[in-house]
Structure 1
Amino acid sequence: MSAAPLMPPPPMPPPLKPPGRDARLDAIRGWLQLSIFASHIAGGFVGGWLIHAAWGVSDSSEQFVFLSGFGLGSVFLYKQARQGFAAACRDMAVRFARLWRMHLVVFLGFGAMVTAGAAWLGTPGWDYAMRHPVLAALGGTLLVYQPPFMGILPMFLIGMAALLPFLWLVARFEARALLMPAALYVAAQLLPADLPALGGTSFAFSPPGWVPLFLLGAWFGRRVLFTGRAVTADRRLVAGALAIVALGTVLKVTGTLPGWLVGKEQLAPLRALHALSLAYLVAALVPRAAAWTGTRLSAALGMIGRHSLPVFSLGLFLSWLGSVAVARNPLLEVIVVPAGAFILWALARSLDARRLGAGAPAAAPHMLATGKGPSA
């Protein structure tokens, strides 16, 4: 007997309302973007002392990945409910293609900048790319050549590829579908932390370790879409999350971080638990209509957060240039960091103005990938 063909999940009841803007999450994503920019400036005071990663086990990368899965999952499910599974898959394919295209632009542009820096400034270049440019270009296209700064966008592409089968499993098996990311995560902890990639590089973000975080974000995005809330505030969970955050601070300050528990490449257990604890505390304790979300600072951060992909991509270039400047004169950081933050805000502001000028709605909530929002 032949196997039955893979069928789309059963129709879903339409949600009560589309995923709306969340000024709280917009501002948080904006802060994460600036934190990532500052943390990538090697040897900088701001990245070493003034962002939350300096006082705990996890950093902005985990929240960035979690929130992107959160948004993409909810957008996919909303489109599926309104237009069907096939239409939602087509929309996700378009978003995947746009992100892959941006990855290529960043990869090639960053490689050109690093090569020019090696020739004119004597900074380290991409040795393998200089010796084997064709193979390096092919490896970058296929996501398997990951020199410094080039690991995060490939991880998002892999996460997006895993999202469709995961959501199909969720539609069929509900919570049992979480066994898929759980199995991947266990495999990541058993595999070597530095999975080898092309040209002597390694995967900066081990896919079996980080994709589950992306998928878990999609799971909670689904909960928000159909129940109106990702989590509820529970005193025991709040106390446990606070204890994990406090433990992370103690371990960081005392320099007693155990590598097998906090390694970033494989998203080690304590690191993952710390990141999820921070996310839970924000979701459970910070109301959507908090007063600070109406301030000018929150509006500026929210504008940055609504344009995560272009801001992040430009931030990679600016942080490399900032690292070169700070390495030559540490005092330049007082100029480099504010100037970089202003440039990233200006980019986000111009993108907002362009969309509004074209009569389009504001950028889609919780999204890494560019494109039309969930109401399109």
Structure 2
Amino acid sequence: MTNARDPRIDFFRGLALIFIFWDHVPDNPFAQLTVRNFGFSDAAEIFVFLAGYAAVLAYGRVAERDGMLVACTRILRRVWVLYVVHIFLLTLLMGIVFVANNHVESRDMIQIMGLEYFVKYPQQALADELLLRFKPNLTDPLPLYILLLLALPLILPWLLRRAHYVVGLSLALYLMVPLFGWNLSAYEGGVWYFNPVAWQLLFVLGGVCAVRSRNAVVQPTRPLSRQPLFIAAATYVVLAGLITLSWKWPAFHEALMPKLLNDVLYPISKTDLAPARLLHFLALAYCTAKLLPRSQALLNNWPAQQTCRMGRYSLEVFCLGVLLAPMADMLNALAGDTWPMQVCTALAGLGLMMMLAGWLEWNRRLGLSARALAV
């Protein structure tokens, strides 16, 4: 595979992490600016798609350089690291929520974070946590990623050589959800909030795009206005945006949407990655790829560089964002949920995420310098 790193991948991973943090702080004014307000999909689709892209790009290079056995060994080692991080993250999150709940009187933080099960049945909850069945609010993406990465050794050889077969099988598996209701079981008879049977399709499509990128050849193209696929995708993105905005005014939405379209479109399930969400994300990703050139020129500014840096350390920044969300909610509640405090906590959380990414980058460069001196 090519060694060139597409800076857009890091940028949009970082942007998704910012959106995830802002979306999970209740009544955060900056949450009105995230992608979920302008279409059917949200930052979760970005996160999973780019996780597949980055994983296949990284481990595909290892497979081609050192062999498939080495690549699969590294994948499984990464899965173990993610599993340990998941357990550690849940422990920290529960500690923060329990402390916050003792200081906040205006709302039940334990109920908001989905920790009632742990309070009622601590022993069973711990067992379910180890089995990835118990996932409090905000933590669902990490178990999904663990499961998808665990399956990567099975499909990576085929992705590198016969990607269209993998896409066909992945699509067939996705169709099992509406046909037979497939999902994995969770605690108390529930199911996974992010249904892996459905969301695996986005992960696979991200991996396919990574494989295709190695053979990408820059060729003269027709103007976008003369590309039917781009026009169709852009039209869908605009229409989805208008429908989503109309949700803020129910009377207008009811007048805008014909009953037949309502029956076809709703419900737009996030758990099962409804076709409307999937198509919206794919259309949005396609339009973005066409409109935003691969050149780093547009990303050579301080905000974009900080966002790219967060994207390069997505696991660490994601975990910090999960811990910061209930802390921000607690501070907002203690301050009476005033608008200035909500703005301050949202910006402070973003600043801490940027500082963590900066520290990790500095630490990485320090380690490279030390190894260079040792040689």
TM (normalized to structure 1)?
0.84
| Structure 1 residue 272, shift from structure 2 partner | 0.6
The answer to whether the aligner puts 1:72 opposite 2:84 as a matched pair is no
Q: Is the 8 A contact 1:158 1:211 kept in 2?
A: no
Which residue of structure 1 lines up, in the alignment, with residue 151 of structure 2? 162
**How do residues 276-287 of structure 1 correspond to structure 2 at under 5 angstroms?**
276-287=282-293
Shift in alpha-carbon separation, 1:172–1:140, aligned structure 2, 3 A: same
How far does the alpha carbon of each residue in 1:302-330 deviate from its partner, in whole angstroms, 9 at most, with x for none?
11111100101110111122223334413
The answer to whether the aligner puts 1:343 opposite 2:357 as a matched pair is no
- Unaligned 5+ runs, structure 1: 1-14, 362-376
| Structure 1 residue 155, shift from structure 2 partner | 0.5
Q: Is the 8 A contact 1:159 1:215 kept in 2?
A: no
| Structure 1 residue 201, shift from structure 2 partner | 5.1
Q: 1:107 aligns with which of 55, 68, 90?
A: 90
How far does the alpha carbon of each residue in 1:197-244 deviate from its partner, in whole angstroms, 9 at most, with x for none?
114654120111111111111111111124468xx8871111111011
Residue identity in the other structure for 2:29: F
Shift in alpha-carbon separation, 1:222–1:287, aligned structure 2, 3 A: same
How far does the alpha carbon of each residue in 1:56-99 deviate from its partner, in whole angstroms, 9 at most, with x for none?
11111101110110010121211111111101101111111111
How far does the alpha carbon of each residue in 1:95-138 deviate from its partner, in whole angstroms, 9 at most, with x for none?
11111111111111112222223344353321211222222122
The range that moved more, 288-297 or 256-265, is 256-265
How far does the alpha carbon of each residue in 1:133-165 deviate from its partner, in whole angstroms, 9 at most, with x for none?
222122112111122122110000111122222
How far does the alpha carbon of each residue in 1:164-187 deviate from its partner, in whole angstroms, 9 at most, with x for none?
222233356441221221122111
Which residue of structure 2 lines up, in the alignment, with residue 329 of structure 1? 337
Residue identity in the other structure for 1:124: M
| Structure 1 residue 194, shift from structure 2 partner | 8.1
The answer to whether the aligner puts 1:313 opposite 2:319 as a matched pair is yes
Q: Is the 8 A contact 2:163 2:208 kept in 1?
A: no
Percent identity over the alignment?
A: 27
Which residue of structure 2 lines up, in the alignment, with residue 252 of structure 1? 244
Which residue of structure 2 lines up, in the alignment, with residue 220 of structure 1? 209
**In 2: Cα distance, 1:346 partner to 1:59 partner:** 25
TM (normalized to structure 2)?
0.85
**How do residues 11-50 of structure 1 correspond to structure 2 at under 5 angstroms?**
15=1, 17-18=2-3, 20-47=4-31, 49-50=32-33
| Structure 1 residue 52, shift from structure 2 partner | 2.0
**In 2: Cα distance, 1:193 partner to 1:248 partner:** 27
How far does the alpha carbon of each residue in 1:258-296 deviate from its partner, in whole angstroms, 9 at most, with x for none?
764521111100101111111111222211115321111
**In 2: Cα distance, 1:293 partner to 1:173 partner:** 34
The range that moved more, 165-174 or 284-293, is 165-174
The answer to whether the aligner puts 1:210 opposite 2:222 as a matched pair is no
The answer to whether the aligner puts 1:91 opposite 2:80 as a matched pair is no
**In 2: Cα distance, 1:41 partner to 1:321 partner:** 9
**In 1: Cα distance, 2:317 partner to 2:357 partner:** 7
**In 2: Cα distance, 1:168 partner to 1:21 partner:** 22
**In 2: Cα distance, 1:76 partner to 1:350 partner:** 25
Aligned-pair Cα RMSD in Å: 2.3
Q: Is the 8 A contact 1:194 1:206 kept in 2?
A: yes
How far does the alpha carbon of each residue in 1:312-357 deviate from its partner, in whole angstroms, 9 at most, with x for none?
1110111122223334413211211111110000000000000001
Partner SS, residue 359 of structure 1: helix
| Structure 1 residue 298, shift from structure 2 partner | 1.1
**In 2: Cα distance, 1:71 partner to 1:172 partner:** 18
Residue identity in the other structure for 1:23: P
Q: Is the 8 A contact 2:184 2:196 kept in 1?
A: no
